[in-house]
A and B are shown apart, each in its own frame.
Chain A
């Protein structure tokens, strides 16, 4: 059973990453990138420069491994599954920072700093959303959170949850309005000095993180593997794919603002909103 679940995690990650890249219409570009030569920078931090994409991919896999594929069946069935996902989020910010810092070049470093400045305040609403989702289940374990949604999905009883979590997903996957790391305005930021296979792997890891984060959003708000007729994993895949499409669309459609204005929005608007969200979820759970 464990082997089967591990296979499901890896297969979902691989197929989902292909789907995500296809949605962005970048398969040909990505494939061509692998043939290119790698750029070298002066005195980089070699370990992290070579492995940043691997850390990113590993975090996506770790995040997906706590998601239950059928009711009560997760690869890592931990009593604190949701805290594991929160840890993956925090470590993702560090990974992106290391990716930019390790090249030892101006644009990647600027991207890394901008991203951290935005990423740390995003962690706060993220934690409130995760805690709120755990409230009706009275448990930090993801299978229990799925069970708690048998009667009613969290997206209905916690209406602010999914929109707030969408911001977290966009931040984690460096997309659209929250892409302060790899944006075009600083020459693709943390990836500016990357080329060839390393760049390709970074893009794949980004796509894999979108799969992982969408699967978690589906579990937290759309009842995960719950659904009539079809078996659990199929429902999870359908919901994950739908959310991935929504997040990719949001990433393309919503404009990015300056980091300073985004900081104001995060602290002044989104943080109080997430307080309100948690309070509402608490009252509803009572």
Chain B
């Protein structure tokens, strides 16, 4: 029974993962990825890891919401009314993806897998808590410091004002054709003096 449910959820995770690169709309793509994470979280709950499973769903719900916003910010056609395909080196990518999946799958099928399931009466959530704030506290705290560094780095990288002037000074959109007229916002008078503000 658990086997069947796990297999169904795994198939759903793979299918929604595949849909990410097949749907037209960016919003659909990011929520399709979220469904893939939800399925993995469901497998976690079934395999007696309730905290990890549900925390995955929670984290990914918030993360994919952020992702959807960024997608609409940066992509053409955010609503998904027109079909589009934006890929390069397509064949190599398909080959690499297939090769990775097949090689890993073969490794799974050919190697003897250990069987030592978690005891059903174990209080895994409390064990995780004691591990996080006990023997592995240094690792856990390192992750916290890394996240703090990430916050600082993200703010610094994405800030418009910098030590050497505004970061979009002299910025010129890429051409519609190679070496052609720029698309989007045109540089004004040789570039350099944008006082648009409002880019937050």
A45 close to B61 (CB less than 8 A): no
Question: Pick the contact of A90 from B51, B62, B69, B80 — CB < 8 Å?
Answer: B62
Interface residues of B (CB under 8 A from A): 25, 27-28, 31, 34, 50-51, 54-55, 57-58, 61-62, 64-66, 68-69, 79-81, 123, 125-126
Add 18 more A-B contacts to A84-B54, A97-B68 (CB < 8 A).
A45-B28, A45-B80, A78-B50, A79-B50, A80-B50, A83-B55, A91-B57, A91-B61, A93-B61, A93-B65, A94-B65, A101-B27, A104-B79, A120-B62, A120-B65, A120-B66, A123-B62, A140-B51
Query: Which A residues are in CB contact (< 8 Å) with B65?
Result: 90, 93-94, 97, 116, 120
* Whole-angstrom CA separation of A105 from B57 in the bound complex: 29
Is A86 engaged at the interface, CB distance under 8 Å to the other chain?
yes
Residues of A within 8 A of B55 (CB): 83
- The residue from A98, A120, A123 contacting B31, defined by CB atoms under 8 A apart: A98
Contacts of A120 in B (CB 8 A): 62, 65-66
Indicate if the CB atoms of A94 and B69 lie closer than 8 Å.
no
Please give, as numbers and ranges, the residues of chain B lying within 8 Å of A86 by CB-CB distance: 58
Which residues from A are CB-within-8-Å of B123?
79
A-side contacts of B54, CB under 8 Å: 80, 83-84, 87
A84 to B125, CA, bound (A): 14
Closest to A95 in B: B61
With a cutoff of 8 Å between Cβ atoms, the chain B residues found around residue A94 in the complex are 31, 34, 61, 64-65
Across chains A and B, which 8 residue pairs bring their CB atoms closest together, nearest first? A90-B61, A87-B58, A79-B125, A83-B54, A80-B50, A80-B51, A87-B57, A90-B62
Interface residue A43 (Cβ < 8 Å from any Cβ of B) = yes
In the bound complex, CA of A273 to CA of B45 (Å): 33
A residues adjacent to B (C-beta < 8 A): 43, 45, 78-80, 83-84, 86-87, 90-91, 93-94, 97-98, 101, 104, 113, 116, 120, 123, 140
Which A residues are in CB contact (< 8 Å) with B66? 120
Q: Is the interface of B mostly helix, strand, loop or mixed?
A: helix
Minimum C-beta distance from B120 to chain A (A): 13
Closest to B68 in A: A97
With both chains docked as a complex, state the minimum distance between the C-beta of A108 and any C-beta of chain B, in angstroms. 12
Which residues of B have CB within 8 Å of A87? 54, 57-58, 61
Contacts of B80 in A (CB 8 A): 45
Q: What is the minimal beta-carbon distance from B42 to any residue of chain A, in angstroms? A: 12
B34 contacts which chain A residues (CB < 8 A)?
A: 94
CA of A159 to CA of B10 in the docked complex: distance in angstroms? 44
Q: Considering the chains assembled together, what is the distance between the CA atoms of A78 and B79 in angstroms?
A: 39
Pairs across A and B, CB under 8 Å, 30 listed: A45-B25, A45-B28, A79-B50, A79-B51, A79-B123, A79-B125, A79-B126, A80-B50, A80-B125, A83-B51, A83-B55, A86-B58, A87-B61, A90-B61, A90-B65, A93-B61, A93-B65, A94-B31, A94-B34, A94-B61, A94-B64, A97-B65, A97-B68, A98-B31, A101-B27, A104-B81, A116-B69, A120-B62, A123-B62, A140-B125
Please measure, in the bound complex, the distance between the C-alpha atom of A152 and the C-alpha atom of B54, giving whole angstroms.
Answer: 30
Q: Which residues of B contact A78 (CB under 8 A)?
A: 50
How far apart are A266's CB and chain B's nearest CB, in angstroms?
15
Which of chain A's residues have a CB closer than 8 A to the CB of B68?
97
Q: Which residue of A lies closest to B200 (CB)?
A: A260
How far apart sit A140 and B81, CA to CA, in the bound complex (Å)? 44
